[in-house]
Copies of this chain bind each other. A is one copy, B any other.
Amino acid sequence: MTDKRIDGGVAHTLYDRLRRDIVFGRLAAAAKLPLGELKESYGVSVSTLREALNRLAAEGFVMTEGQRGFFVAPMTREGLRDIAALRILIEGYAFEKSIEHGDTDWEASIVAAHHKLHRLEQRMIQGDVSVRENWKQHDWEFHQALIAACGSAELLRLHQTVFDKYLRYQVRVLTFRGTLAAQEHKDLLDAALSRNVAQGADVLRRHIDGGVEHSLAHWGG
């Protein structure tokens, strides 16, 4: 028998797909989301579709105004600075708490997460762009591992959506920050292992602000 727990039902699968399609730009920013067309392309009914869209609307990935349907959330320079500042606040605080409370198991998990991320980064730097979506997953897992010992479920949950909103802007510019980002990840790992709160917060701020500057520089349009 197949394990049903792999997918959480059509609605949950659809939610994941839509979310990824928004974060990775396959659904363009500010694009209209016509129920009739999406219903066809995703192969679900309108009710199921609306359930997923409502969840995404609550998280801020899609907008819905009055009875005019759903739109992908737009991307603006101000929106990027806004979400980046929020990520620095949330992740910075969670990182501090995590450094305070983390035990040896936590240390082991961040070392492991960093190793996997490092491998992917090497391939990315060498120009292998096929692993991009995979790399994102490991980037997130590393950052999530860093703050996993913060002791707050609310914080971890919130970080997940803030991180993805920020990531959407990183994906938008197709170029990779490469060596710089990789070095910052290493610095974050070192700060965590040496329990240096101030240094960790500082590196994290530079890491995120660096991504903002990179995105703004390659904004285009």
Contact = CB atoms under 8 A, between A and B. Distances in A.
B60 A152 contact: no
A5 B152 contact: no
A158 B159 CA distance: 12
A117 B54 CA distance: 33
A86 B155 contact: yes
Contacts of A155: 82, 86
14 contacts: A5-B66, A9-B66, A51-B51, A51-B54, A54-B54, A58-B58, A58-B59, A60-B157, A82-B153, A82-B154, A83-B154, A86-B154, A89-B89, A89-B93
Contacts of A218: none
Interface string A61-75: 000001100000000
Interface in A93-109: 93
A115 interface: no
Nearest to A59: B58
Nearest to A153: B82
A50 interface: yes
A27 interface: no
Most B-side CB within 10 Å, residue of A50, A55, A56, A57 = A55
Contacts of A67: 9
A165 to B, nearest CB: 8
A221 interface: no
A119 to B, nearest CB: 33
